[in-house]
Structure 1
Amino acid sequence: MTSSSTPIRLPGMAEVLAVMIGFIAIMFLSINVLGLPIQLALFASWFLVMALGVRLKIRYASMQEGLINGIHNGMEAVLVLTTVGALIGTWIAGGIVPSIIYYGLTVMDPQIFLFAAFIICALTSLATGTSFGTAGTAGVAMMGIGHSFGIPLPLVAGAVISGAYVGDKMSPLSDTTVMTASLCKVNLIDHIRSMMLVSAPAILIAGVLFLVVGFFFIDGDVDTSRATVAMQALETHFTISPWLLLPAVIVIGLLTRRFPAIPVITFGAVLGSICAWWAQDVSPVDAIRIAYDGNAMASDVEFLNTLLNRGGIQSMLGVVALILFALGLGGLMDRVGILKAISNGFLRWANNPGRLTLSTMLGGFFGNFFGGAAYVSLITASTITEKNYDDQGIDRRVLSRNAEAGGTVTTPMVPWTDGGVFMATTLGVSTMAYLPFLWYHMLVIAISLFYGYANIAIWRTTPSAEKATTSSGEFQTT
């Protein structure tokens, strides 16, 4: 056995394909046939990749190191998940989320609701830079309002997630935005300006679509009795007050001022516990316990039981386990050379801007599908194809834009990624149910591909081969 941390040879495409087919088979059999948890399926997939590592004569210690490195790279998302779980539980118990829902029901027209939910979540995510924080606060409130209006929850979730990922992809406060610019060696502001060319029309078209659906498919004379019953139930079970909106304003304000997300969200959870004790007559010990156990209440109103019995760190433990298994899988694949083998395959095929755009986006989706996290997808999207951009003389601003389109944007589309699991758990709608309504995400993908194949906004630089010729006086292959 070799002592190297890398394989003595890269896996062949047949071996890579065998691992992919094996992974899909394990996922299908475990989930659809045997009914086993998805966490076990991902855990079993570790050993599928390890089997390839043994075939490549890689030491187990080296593979374990790669596994641990993969988990380490995504630990911030895990910590954010746990704090958001505490926040959701205490904000419901403290009357913060019920107050937002109550006042939203009093002022919002059902026909413009989907458009409003999309815009509100987009502005919140742009201001805070976090899709998780947006979905866990404004998103949960929008789900409650939409449910009260009788709008299908998958459609509401589509509007919420579409808006939440506007900021995750575009905000200078977003960790994925900063990470992508860094990985692609692009100035942050230049990266955002490049993305604006795709995101601006996507936001406009998605907004129009949500508005059109609201006007033409939601009856203007919709029965608001359900909303009235919901408001009465909220008043019965919670103290409703404008003052209870203050913690949401404080948390969003602190995130906007670029304070670190984990302590800010934790502080918000503390404020929620204080509100539960002060405004909702919950005992101090129970108000603290809710941060871990989540909110629990008995009501005859289905609306309250469906949307307000949730939250707490405990509710996120299964999600955390899933993300850890997915991150470990991504680290293993990197260590055994699967990502490098795919990169080499793309180098031979992606010989024009259209194919280059598609290969970058496929690299991002691959990272999400097999690595389970936006962080992994951004690494795969950028590293798999970056050499081709230089060789073809295409500016890396195009690479960074396409990496976000294939990486960040596709994260909530895969059921076992950190984003997919978080959105499904937080909003109470499965990934496959809300997937058809992620219109902003689909538009970003479609517009990016159109730009690539139509050669629009594909800025040129000096190809690396020409640079080598100029600097050395002779052509050098790379």
Structure 2
Amino acid sequence: MNNESPKSNPYALIPFGLFILLFIGSGLVTGDFYVMPVLVALFTAILLALMMNRKTDFQTKVLQLSQGGGHPNIILMVLVFLLAGAFASVADGAGAVESTVNLGLTLLPQNLLVVGLFVIGCFISISMGTSMGTIVALAPIGVGISEQTDIGVALAMGAIISGAMFGDNLSIISDTTIAAVRTQGVKMKDKFKANFFIVLPAAILTAIIFGVMTAGSEAAIGGSHPFNIVQVLPYLAVLIFALAGVNVILVLIGGILFAGGVGLALGEFGFQDFIGLIGSGFTNMQELALIAILLGGLVELIRQNGGITYLLEAVTNRVRTKKGGEAGIAGLVSMVNFATANNTISIITAGPLAKQISDKYQIDNRRSASLLDIFSSSVQGVIPYGAQLLAAAGVAAISPVALIPFCIYPILIAISGMIAIAVQYPRFTAKAESREG
């Protein structure tokens, strides 16, 4: 892709506004968020973007669309979608979901099941460094718990998304962490420490809120909950490999094979059924993969037409003080994330300007890296057209908009971040200048 910054143009954002209007606005007006398929809304916005910028010929704009959709981060996301879908499908066929749910119902206090989902999500995501792998692995379990209790499925999915975004923001192997420390020139461990003290209160408060919200769920659970520990092993294996720092692609492939082996050994399905389950898992994620590709293409068209440059300038031109600089970094990455629906890409895009702001106003680079990651993760965890909510909503068969009120942690880390800016917490004794090798 062309990395030169196009001339600022606010009108380049119109296609994205049209997408939001069609996708969310139609649901708000009609009360049915399925009335406008997201792919139709997205493709309509792409057609509008292709008709803009008459200085560029149509063939070049189609090439820009293709380059945006084929960005390495987008293709990696598609691979994770497909493999995670296959793992979820095979694990479900092997009985892993039912046994894991029943194990949770047996061991966890019945009024803390949602808190347990959140904590497990935190553990998996900080180990794997990916929110998407966490969501797709845990979403079937959340649905199963919802079906056996009076806990709403949207609430269960919100807890999983909250846990997933915890690790997405903090994990030292997360792509957002890598992008943040690289653009700001700091060590990962230093960014982790600065970030951790800001978001820890939000994580604790999230667990408390989920506990209060589900305090009365105990009465709805009854009967026995038989489980086979062998069927739980695929999820446990994914956790162990993730803790060992294995690449998420290898973790998911290994999970598919292990779950398949368990299913075959226990007679849950035959080899042909195993292949069919992998195929159905891929099929279940095809729409999500297409959304990611087309959205990446739309973002590139908007960038080439000057929309992203306008967002960057709109924020940086208003910075005057150190606190204003920190607020500018937060607003900058948030606006770009709203426009790109990808927190890694938003950090990579906003990072160089954030570095300039931090240097100009003497903002510690550990702090600027933390702010980039915190606010991009916050936005990513609440936008209904982002991959995380779309994936969770797809498994739960509900509208992604219905999940937003229950994405407690992404909301609270934004509040924590704003408070940290206002009170200048945490404070640093020396400016970090060394880069992680």
Q: Could you state the TM-score of these two structures normalised by the residue count of structure 1?
A: 0.81
Q: One-letter code of the match for 1:418?
A: A
Contact 2:12 2:302 in 1 (8 A): no
Per the TM alignment, residue 26 of structure 1 is displaced from its structure 2 partner at its CA by 4.3
What are the equivalent positions in structure 2 for 1:50-129 lying under 5 Å apart? Answer: 50-54=50-54, 57-60=55-58, 62-71=60-69, 72=71, 73-129=73-129
What are the equivalent positions in structure 2 for 1:294-443 lying under 5 Å apart? Answer: 312-443=281-412
Per the TM alignment, residue 101 of structure 1 is displaced from its structure 2 partner at its CA by 1.1
What are the equivalent positions in structure 2 for 1:82-231 lying under 5 Å apart? Answer: 82-215=82-215, 218=216, 222-225=219-222, 228=224, 231=225
Q: Which has the higher relative contact order, 1 or 2, with Cα contacts under 8 A spaced 6 or more apart?
A: 2
Q: Distance in 2 between matches of 1:409 and 1:23?
A: 21
Q: Distance in 1 between matches of 2:339 and 2:386?
A: 9
CA RMSD of aligned residues (A): 2.7
Per the TM alignment, residue 383 of structure 1 is displaced from its structure 2 partner at its CA by 4.0
Q: One-letter code of the match for 1:176?
A: T
Q: Distance in 1 between matches of 2:409 and 2:248?
A: 25
Per the TM alignment, residue 51 of structure 1 is displaced from its structure 2 partner at its CA by 3.7
Give percent identity, aligned residues only.
21
Q: Distance in 1 between matches of 2:3 and 2:209?
A: 50
Distance 1:147 1:206, change over 3 A: same
Q: Distance in 1 between matches of 2:271 and 2:294?
A: 36
Per the TM alignment, residue 353 of structure 1 is displaced from its structure 2 partner at its CA by 3.9
The SS at the match of 2:53 is helix
The SS at the match of 1:413 is coil
Distance 1:353 1:422, change over 3 A: farther
> CA offsets per residue over residues 126-182 of structure 1, 9 Å max, x none?
222222222222343243224312112222222221112111111112222222222
Contact 2:23 2:36 in 1 (8 A): no
Q: One-letter code of the match for 2:235?
A: A
Residue in structure 1 matching 2:258, options 259, 271, 275: 271
Q: One-letter code of the match for 1:289?
A: G
Distance 1:74 1:180, change over 3 A: farther
The SS at the match of 2:8 is coil
The SS at the match of 2:391 is helix
Q: Distance in 2 between matches of 1:392 and 1:28?
A: 38
The SS at the match of 2:246 is coil
Structure 1: runs of 5+ lacking an equivalent: 294-311, 463-478
Contact 1:119 1:163 in 2 (8 A): yes
Q: Distance in 2 between matches of 1:426 and 1:352?
A: 45
Per the TM alignment, residue 91 of structure 1 is displaced from its structure 2 partner at its CA by 0.1
Q: One-letter code of the match for 1:87?
A: F
Contact 1:6 1:58 in 2 (8 A): no
Q: Distance in 1 between matches of 2:258 and 2:62?
A: 41
Q: One-letter code of the match for 1:415?
A: P
The SS at the match of 1:410 is helix
Per the TM alignment, residue 385 of structure 1 is displaced from its structure 2 partner at its CA by 3.6
Query: Does the alignment pair 1:290 with 2:277?
Result: yes
Contact 2:124 2:164 in 1 (8 A): yes
Distance 1:415 1:42, change over 3 A: same
Contact 2:96 2:232 in 1 (8 A): yes
The SS at the match of 2:169 is helix
Contact 1:354 1:452 in 2 (8 A): yes
Per the TM alignment, residue 381 of structure 1 is displaced from its structure 2 partner at its CA by 3.6
Distance 1:461 1:27, change over 3 A: farther
Query: Does the alignment pair 1:260 with 2:247?
Result: yes
Structure 2: runs of 5+ lacking an equivalent: 432-437
Q: Distance in 2 between matches of 1:454 and 1:126?
A: 27
Residue matched to 2:235:
248
Residue matched to 1:49:
49
Q: Distance in 2 between matches of 1:114 and 1:59?
A: 53
Residue matched to 1:297:
none
